[in-house]
């Protein structure tokens, strides 16, 4: 007998750690940006937090440079064929999520990859990053596969200072409520690549 396991339609999630970024300086710079930028209040997934206005391509401020520079180290190591050769467009923004804030389920249309980099993560339950299973198995009552193969209808990742997650922009996700007394700070971005 031969059993050939053939996963179909895999969804890549990259967790990157060990980036050499000065998070204390980045935190200070993001709080300074918040003083100048009123942020976006409507039309996005952030509830109760601050979401800076997205900066795009040639209009990106210096504070985001450490994260953007990290892409040059990350992309050559990613398992894509053909390899990523360049960033065609980039949109990047900062998030400050105080106690009680969260992000509703959403995705990022119109781009290839999206991601988040964690600048500050308080101890305790500051809100997990939850990826929703993109297959409609639960809709059709197929709990057998969902429970045994995936483990549920969503998979959570805990924020860790200095970690970055990269994922397909079509991947539905949300962020749980920050239940701590401190801010969680992150930088999110959308990329079109070739």
**Bridge partners of residue 120, in order along the sequence:** 185
Model confidence pLDDT, tens digit, residues 66-117: 999 999 999 999 988 899 999 999 999 999 999 999 999 999 999 999 999 9
Closest by CA to 44, choosing from 116, 110, 120, 104, is 104
Q: Which CATH class is domain 14-193?
A: mainly beta
pTM score of the predicted model: 0.93
By the 10 Å C-beta count (0-12 exposed, 13-18 middle, 19+ buried), 40 is classed as: middle
Model confidence pLDDT, tens digit, residues 7-52: 788 889 999 999 999 999 999 999 999 999 999 977 789 999 999 9
If DSSP codes are grouped into helix, strand and coil, which group holds residue 82? coil
């Amino acid at each position: 007998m031969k059993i050939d396991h053939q996963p179909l339609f895999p969804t890549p999630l990259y967790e990157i750690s060990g980036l050499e970024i000065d998070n204390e300086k980045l935190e200070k710079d993001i709080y300074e940006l918040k003083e100048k930028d009123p942020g976006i209040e409507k039309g996005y997934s952030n509830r109760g937090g601050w979401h800076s206005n997205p900066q795009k391509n040639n209009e990106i401020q210096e504070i985001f440079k450490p994260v953007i520079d990290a892409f040059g180290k990350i992309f050559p190591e990613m398992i894509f064929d053909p390899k990523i050769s360049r960033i065609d467009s980039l949109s990047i923004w900062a998030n400050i999520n105080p106690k009680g804030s969260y992000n509703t389920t959403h995705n990022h249309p119109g781009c290839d990859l999206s991601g988040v980099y964690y600048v500050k993560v308080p101890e305790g339950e500051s809100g997990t990053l939850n990826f929703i299973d993109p297959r409609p198995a639960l809709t059709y009552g197929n709990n057998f596969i969902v429970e045994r193969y995936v483990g549920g209808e969503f998979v959570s990742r805990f924020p860790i200072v200095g970690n970055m997650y990269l994922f397909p922009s079509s991947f539905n996700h949300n962020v749980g409520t920050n239940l701590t007394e401190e801010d969680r700070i992150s930088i999110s971005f959308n990329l079109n690549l070739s």
